[in-house]
């Protein structure tokens, strides 16, 4: 239902007046909240020039935010590529015709979707710190990657499997009919289509990964947030440093979510253009990230 | 294993996790519903307010939101949801600030879940409510929201499961929940590292698996048949 047009009538003069009052109340509320925050920050001396002037100093950016940003992107990029590869493998394993293989992969996927990313990060980080098979300064990095990949490969595996299940049955039947084996049908016909139709969901999963790199703060990985804290203690402006980091995160993630929307719209247009062909389901779940039987989606 | 659970108070830690999830889920549901009503409302300013809320909080990492609750909300704005006279002042304070952070973050996802629930309702329902002479709020209360909640059980449940798992982030401001317990266990009992992990991980499986099953069952049971 396109709610916006049908939930209320076209307003008459009385309703217009009422809406104006509500709009004014809304603006007053917003100004009230922002004003209160601003006022308290002013009272606490957070709005003084020396708290904010570090941000016009290029050294702040070259020493803290840019390296932090690069470390965030680096961890997110490696994690997403590895999660895609392992996710594909998990999806294939879970769709296998050999029962025991299927069971093992199902158990693996359900387990790692149910365990929080942070738990896996902390485990890997402390495990590596107590063993000596990796150089110590690599531990936070490996911890972040391990946590992200274990969780997101399971989620991406489920996204791909869902994509395969939402394909029209004729695709599989056609594959079998031309003499392909069931596993070849999956590999050559079903999974490639599932990947394209789930592309928007996969892009929104990138946002989840990017946000989750911030968990690296807790195991001291020098990503954006950790760098913001370092800047905050160097310049005694912790709060402004965090606020700037938040703005950076919002801008990047908002850009990515627009990209996901664009991909989705383009795909829908393409499907509608492809005339009478049975519609590949592009209805994409954008919330969630649960255990058992849920459609996987994207809550941080 | 039992000795390990006893030594590090794992059950207590999970009790804190459950309390965190419970209170922040209720707050997030209320706040998210309000934002959803704003986004559906006929007033342009409120629509944009709701949209901005969702954009801001959905795109900020939870770690950052929880840190800002501690540093900003308490440290700067002087919001102090615990009494200084209490012996457990710091514990209570961090616990409640973490609840606020979790609630504010997940409210954005609740709002989107409810909107997706509204999208499952056929046009005729809203038209019928208007033709009966119900106003916007009346129609919302009697016709739209009850069906929207029933249609949104699955996405709302997914938010709940994500929320249960995300309570671990509260360790960033020192709340003694499951991730905190794991950190201690890994630090002081590195000899049984795998057991440490399994104890905590299975704890989360026990929390999220039944929740997931319940949600699938509930979404079947309360689905609006058309």
Quote ipTM for the complex.
Answer: 0.91
Over range A59-82, report the average pLDDT.
92
Q: Which residues of A touch B123 (CB under 8 A)?
A: 1-2, 6
Is A281 among the domain residues? no
On whether any CB of chain A is under 8 Å from the CB of B46, the answer is: yes
Angle at A44 between CA A39 and CA A48, to 5 degrees: 85
Closest partner residue to A249 (CB to CB) among B61, B77, B121 is: B61
Selected residue of A65, A108, A122 to mutate for chain B interface (largest B Cβ count, 10 A): A122
Q: What is the C-alpha to C-alpha distance for residues A93 and A89, in angstroms, rounded to an integer? A: 6
**For chain B, how are helix, strand and coil distributed in percent, rounded to 5?**
80, 0, 20
Comparing alpha-carbon positions, the chain B residue that sits nearest to A44 is: B76
Q: Return the structure tokens found at A99.
A: 């029962």
Q: Where are the beta strands (DSSP E) in chain B?
A: none
Higher model confidence: residue A90 or residue A56?
A: A90
3 state SS of B89: helix
Mean pLDDT of chain A: 86
The domains of chain B are located at 2-221
Between B36 and A10, the more confident residue is B36
- Half-sphere exposure in the Cβ direction for B121 (13 Å, CA): 28
Residue A38: inside a domain: no
- Contact (Cβ atoms closer than 8 angstroms) between residue B39 and residue B50: yes
Q: Could you tell me how many CB contacts below 8 A there are between chain A and chain B?
A: 236
What is the maximum span of chain A, computed from C-alpha positions, in angstroms?
76
Note whether B59 contacts A254, CB cutoff 8 Å: yes
A176 or A293, greater pLDDT: A176
Domain count across chain A? 1
* Residues in chain B, pLDDT under 70: none
Top-confidence residue, A299 or B137: B137
- Cα–Cα distance, A218 to B147 (Å, whole number): 41
Which chain B residues are closer than 8 Å to A22 by Cβ? 41, 43, 45-46
CATH of residue A223's domain is 1.10.3720.10
The span from the CA of A205 to the CA of B154, in Å, is: 19
- Give the per-residue pLDDT at B92: 92
Cβ neighbours of A159 in B, within 8 Å: none
With bands split at pLDDT 50, 70 and 90, how would you rate the model's confidence at A274?
low
* Weakest mean pLDDT among A73-87, A95-109, A125-139, B7-21: A125-139
- Provide the domain limits for residue A168: 64-273
Whether A259 maps to a domain, the answer reads yes
Chain centroid to CA B195 = 29
Percent of chain A with pLDDT over 90: 58
Does residue A245 carry a pLDDT above 50? yes
Instruction: Please give the DSSP secondary-structure letter assigned to residue A166.
Output: T
Contact B104, B65 (CB under 8 A): yes
Contacts of A46 in chain B (CB under 8 A): 76
Give the whole-angstrom CA distance, residue B99 versus residue B20. 6
pLDDT at A271 over 60: yes
Q: In the 8-state DSSP scheme, what is residue B134?
A: -
pLDDT confidence of residue A192: 92
Is A124 within the bounds of a domain?
yes
| Residue at token pair 């929940």 | B177
Q: Which residue from B minimizes the CA distance to A283?
A: B116
Which among B112, B168, B209 is the nearest to A287, CB-wise?
B112
Helix (H, G, I), strand (E, B) or coil at A160: helix
Q: Is B108 in contact with B35 (CB distance < 8 Å)?
A: yes
Rg of chain A on CA atoms, in Å: 24
Cβ-defined contact of B76 to A239 (cutoff 8 Å): yes
CATH for B2-221 (3.40.50.2300, 1.10.3720.10, 3.30.70.260, 3.90.930.12)? 1.10.3720.10
- Chain A CB contacts of B188 under 8 Å are none
* Residue B162 to residue A9, Cβ atoms within 8 A: no
Torsion angle defined by CA atoms of residues B70, B71, B73 and B74, in that order, rounded to the nearest 10 degrees: 70
Report B:165-224 residues touching A (Cβ under 8 A).
165-166, 168-169, 171-172, 178-179, 182-183, 186-187, 190, 193, 196-197, 200-201, 204-205, 208-209, 211-213, 215-216
Q: How far apart are CA A3 and CA A220, in angstroms?
A: 45
Chain A contact for B146 (CB, 8 A cutoff): no
pLDDT at A275 over 50: no
Amino acid A197: pLDDT: 87
Report whether pLDDT(A293) > 60: no
pLDDT band at A288 (very low <50, low <70, confident <90, very high): very low
Whether the per-residue pLDDT at A21 is higher than 70: the answer is: yes
In a domain, A46, yes or no: no
| Confidence category of residue A209, pLDDT binned at 50, 70, 90 | very high
Q: A293 vs B212: CB contact, 8 Å cut-off?
A: yes
Q: Is the pLDDT of residue A156 over 90?
A: yes
Phi/psi of residue A287, nearest 5 degrees: -120, 155
């Amino acid at each position: 239902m396109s709610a916006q047009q049908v939930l209320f009538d076209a307003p008459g003069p009385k309703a217009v007046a009422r809406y104006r009052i509500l709009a004014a109340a809304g603006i007053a509320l917003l100004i009230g909240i922002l004003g209160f925050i601003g006022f308290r920050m002013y009272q606490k001396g957070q709005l003084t020039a020396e708290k904010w002037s570090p941000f016009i100093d290029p050294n702040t950016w070259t020493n803290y935010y840019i390296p932090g940003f690069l470390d965030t992107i680096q961890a997110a990029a490696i994690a997403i590529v590895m999660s895609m590869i392992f996710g594909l493998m998990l999806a294939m394993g879970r769709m296998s015709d050999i029962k025991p293989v299927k069971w093992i992969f199902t158990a693996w996927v359900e387990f790692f979707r149910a365990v929080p990313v942070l738990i896996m990060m902390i485990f890997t980080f402390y495990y590596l710190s107590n063993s000596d098979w990796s150089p110590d300064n690599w531990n936070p990095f490996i911890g972040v990657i391990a946590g992200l990949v274990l969780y997101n490969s399971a989620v991406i595996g489920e996204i791909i499997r869902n994509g395969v299940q939402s394909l029209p049955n004729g695709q599989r039947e056609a594959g079998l009919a031309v003499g392909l084996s069931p596993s070849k049908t999956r590999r050559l016909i079903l999974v490639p289509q599932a990947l394209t139709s789930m592309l928007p969901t996969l892009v929104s999963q990138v946002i989840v990964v990017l946000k989750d790199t911030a968990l690296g703060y807790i195991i001291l990985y020098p990503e954006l947030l950790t760098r913001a804290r370092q800047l905050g203690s160097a310049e005694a402006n912790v709060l402004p440093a965090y606020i700037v980091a938040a703005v950076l995160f919002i801008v990047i993630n908002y850009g990515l979510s627009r990209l996901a929307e664009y991909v989705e719209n383009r795909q829908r247009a393409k499907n509608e253009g492809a005339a009478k062909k049975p519609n590949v389901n592009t209805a994409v779940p954008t919330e969630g990230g649960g255990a058992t039987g849920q459609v996987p989606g994207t809550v941080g | 294993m039992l000795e390990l659970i006893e030594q590090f108070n794992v059950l207590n830690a999970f009790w804190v996790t459950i309390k965190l999830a419970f209170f922040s889920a209720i707050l997030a549901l209320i706040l998210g519903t309000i934002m959803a009503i704003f986004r559906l409302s006929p007033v342009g300013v409120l629509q944009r307010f709701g949209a901005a809320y969702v954009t801001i909080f959905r795109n900020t990492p939870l770690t950052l939101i929880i840190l800002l609750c501690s540093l900003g909300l308490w440290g700067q704005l002087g919001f102090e949801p615990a009494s200084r006279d209490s012996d457990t002042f710091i514990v209570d304070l961090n616990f409640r600030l973490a609840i606020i952070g979790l609630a504010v973050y997940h409210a954005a996802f609740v709002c989107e879940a409810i909107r997706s629930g509204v999208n499952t309702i056929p046009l005729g329902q809203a038209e019928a409510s208007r033709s009966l002479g119900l106003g916007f709020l009346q129609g919302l209360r009697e016709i739209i929201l009850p069906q929207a909640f029933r249609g949104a059980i699955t996405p709302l449940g997914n938010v709940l499961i994500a929320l249960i798992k995300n309570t671990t982030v509260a360790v960033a401001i020192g709340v003694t929940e499951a991730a905190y317990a794991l950190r201690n266990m890994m630090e002081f009992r590195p000899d049984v590292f795998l057991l440490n992990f399994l104890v905590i991980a299975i704890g989360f499986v026990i929390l999220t698996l039944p929740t997931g099953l319940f949600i699938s069952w509930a979404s079947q049971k309360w689905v609006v048949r058309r």
